Chains A and B, each alone.
Chain A
Amino acid sequence: MKIKVFVTLKNGVLDPQGKAIHHALEGLGFGGVNDVRAGRLIELDVDENVSDEDVQDMCKKLLANTVIENFEIERN
């Protein structure tokens, strides 16, 4: 089974990478972009018996740093 974990910076945490991407988009002439936040997508291929709680645990213990990041889990 495929699982997608989206890791994003918490609101209020400055995102220098997002700011640089925003700046570059403007440099390319793309208007109307109000803000850019960059994150990370981690794809897991897991056995059927891996529970939601297991994946939550993986996120808290390694995949995300919950001091600065949020995570969302998407199962297909």
Chain B
Amino acid sequence: MKAAVIQFPGSNCDRDMKVALEHIMGADTILHWHGDADLPNDLDFIAIPGGFSYGDYLRSGAMAARSPVMKAIITAANQGVPILGVCNGFQILTESGLLPGALMRNASQNFICRDVELRVNNGTMFTKGYTDGETISIPVAHHDGNYFADEATIKTLEDNDHIAFRYAEDVNGSRENIAGITNDAGNVLGMMPHPERAVDSKHGGTDGQRLFQSLIRELV
């Protein structure tokens, strides 16, 4: 299995993501610089990591979503390659139009950095390894995680079962407590919590492991 983690100026979870993909998925993982528009075309999986790409200038993820590599990522997404965006990666996916909605400043105005409980919908390729409705604990670390979309978009997400994770309580003001969503085809997942920070008992928890394990089953 071959995977790529995309690096933008200001990414800071790229290495953690690479370690998770290597250790949990056993994927041969490359780090790919965003300025290189030519993404290898034999990738089985692409991860867009967390961080503060371009210093969050203009809006979180706005500049990264227009960087050279994004055309290749959109092409890969349309071809069905599984793509995971975490935190700033989720913001980049909404800014690029691969996922609906937008991530706004947390309702409390505070940067939130702690473990949160999530309720899992196991109807996506990324969450098959969980029990439906299971509560798991995953860390969040964000300032702009307040998910917003208009009523029609929220209804579509709900009706089509595209809400992969919800916070068990109100964490940041997100509509319907949304923590993670997929696209229509189900191969693109964006989520604010950091599963790659919960894959080793030394992290304080391992609830993120099964997300990556779900993908192994999907891809092999």
| 8 A Cβ contacts from A25-53 to B | none
Out of A16, A17, A68, which one reaches B102, CB within 8 Å? A68
Interface size on B (CB < 8 Å)? 20
Residues of A within 8 A of B118 (CB): none
- Closest Cβ of chain A to B178, distance in Å, is 14
| Inter-chain contact A13/B58, CB cutoff 8 Å | no
The digit string for A36-76, where 1 denotes a CB below 8 A from any CB of B, is 00000000000000000000000001110101100000000
- Closest Cβ of chain B to A6, distance in Å, is 14
Tally of A-B Cβ pairs under 8 angstroms: 37
The digit string for B91-120, where 1 denotes a CB below 8 A from any CB of A, is 000110000111011111100000000000
| Docked CA distance A65–B102 (Å) | 8
| Inter-chain contact B109/A16, CB cutoff 8 Å | yes
Residues of B within 8 A of A13 (CB): 104, 148
Residues of B within 8 A of A63 (CB): 58
A: which residues have CB within 8 A of B?
A: 13-14, 16-17, 20, 61-63, 65, 67-68
B: which residues have CB within 8 A of A?
A: 58-59, 62, 66, 94-95, 100-102, 104-109, 146, 148-150, 173
